[in-house]
Amino acid sequence: MPNPILPQLFPYEVQDVAPQQEIPWNVSLVNAPSFWQKTRGDGAIVAVVDTGIDAGHPEFEGRILHCQSFVKGSPNDDVGHGCHVAAIIAGKTCGIAPEAKIIACKVFGEGNGFQFQDAFRFLVQWNEEQGEENRIAAVNCSWGGPYDAMIHYFIRKLIDQGTAVVCSAGNAGDGDPTTEEMFNWPGFLFEPVTVGAVNKDATAAKYSSSYDGIDLGAPGTEVYSAWPGGGYKLLSGTSMAAPHVTGALALIYAAWKQREGRWPTVDEAEKVLFKHVRKAPIHPNFVGEGLLDLTYETKRWPLYRVQVGAYYYESGADRTLEAVKAMGFPVYKVKY
């Protein structure tokens, strides 16, 4: 069977860059630091199906839960793409969810043609064997290729298990949103969240594929992230946009677990994700609902009402009101 390929891996020249102390522009653009007041992703697990990872890079210290190669050789990243993507999701200084844990699946290299299926099968089995506590929050797919029914099945299976799947939109764009470059798989599937790329000024990236199956936009041009060997580079592409949303889902899963004592379903997590969107004057074929915006506001979360009692007399209602208020809960009295 034909292997999926990394779509137009580097639309712009790959640039070396020195480690930087300040928060990267792309992390600031999606307002991830606002969400960090609630959580930095602690407890959430993300999987990166890509070219491997540099397990010794300081960006991942102590947070690589598992790495495995589904092609010949070690899971070390000898291309750079997977390392860069993983650090956008969960790098210590350049990631959206800097305390999330990582599962790295290397699928690019000399394989038998079924390594992508094998990697997805492994992730499904991980959820089955590890149990609810170690369920994967989100899987990142920054690549494209020919349709594969088995991988489609595994994507649906993961979502049924409660694991979100995030895909890059593709880099076949011509800058015209009315030209639908829709043949990027798995990005055009209905089930995953598909992400287009924007530039530093929050305009649509010309290289980003455009079609009506794109759900969100995120930074993709000259994104700073980790590179094998302990270094850092600037890369561009929708491959860089997708991991911003994967990191966002890690934050949402972790915050949900704090609030509810359980992981959300994919439907619950995505309802929160799509409340974290900033409208932009960009055609929806580029960015779907809009740009990712992780500004933390309680109104973007589900609200629940608990009725603690009903009384015929006002005095009983007053006593209950004061008791609940003393426990620190906002409470009010309603006359029926």
Catalytic residues: 50, 81, 239
Assess whether the previous peptide bond of 186 is cis (omega < 30° from 0): yes
Q: How far is CA 78 from the centre of its chain?
A: 23
d(CA 209, CA 287): 10
Query: What tokens does 26 get?
Result: 């792309």
DSSP-derived 3-state class of residue 202: coil
Please, what's the b/e burial string for 82-112 (b: 16 or more CB within 10 A of its CB; e: otherwise)? bbbbbbbbbbbbbbbbbbbbbbbbbbbbebe
Q: Are strands 101-106 and 64-69 parallel, antiparallel or unpaired?
A: parallel
d(CA 52, CA 18): 22
Burial class from Cβ neighbours inside 10 Å (0-12, 13-18, 19+) for residue 317 reads: middle
- The DSSP secondary-structure symbol of 295 reads -
Length of the chain: 336
d(CA 9, CA 15): 14
H/E segment holding residue 232: strand 231-235
Q: What angle do CA 215, 249, 168 make, to 5 degrees?
A: 40
